Amino acid sequence: MLSNTEQGLTKEIEKGKNLGISAEVLSADDVKRMDSQLDINIVGAAYYPKDAHIHPGSLINNLKSVIEARGVRFSYNTEVTDIETSDEQIQAITTADEQTYNGGNYINFAGAWSATLMKIVNKKLLIQAGKECSITLKNPAAQPKYCGILSEKKVTLTPMYNSLRFG
């Protein structure tokens, strides 16, 4: 958490400590020593040594490979029109192209439409669709080593391979 105010740093450190998260205050010089690519006007940073990040596309692609190897089959761009259940178990799923999938286990990967899909079986899914506004720069002139949040502006910066995402 990068900050232009001492108050911003103190507030973030307290939040972390209240949640049992290890956190420490870094001066602007400490930040520069940790990441010489980061040339930014800050008072300091709240640093979470156990924090990490992963490229979301890599995560999903690797998970997909692992579960496909275990026999899971994916149906893309498939509109579910009916879900037949018995005793809280899915018996069959029917799709708009009149395909029927019988028995087995199913995972709802409908994204923003997941809650709507669950209404077919009268289940309320506690999920709300969200929209992220971001820009990703490919091969930026400078690439920071660590993720950061510009606390006063509520902007994140995340290095991802040879790109830098601002959200």
Q: Measured between alpha carbons, how far is 8 from 1 in angstroms, rounded to an integer?
A: 9
Whether the pLDDT of residue 61 is over 90: the answer is yes
User: What's residue 3's pLDDT?
Assistant: 66
Residue 135: pLDDT band (50, 70, 90) is: very high
Whether the pLDDT of residue 45 is over 70: the answer is yes
Higher pLDDT, 151 or 29: 29
Whether the pLDDT of residue 139 is over 90: the answer is yes
Asked whether the whole model's pTM tops 0.85, one would answer no
Residue 69: pLDDT band (50, 70, 90) is: very high
Whether the pLDDT of residue 132 is over 80: the answer is no
Burial class (CB in 10 A: 0-12, 13-18, 19+), 43: middle
Whether the pLDDT of residue 94 is over 90: the answer is yes
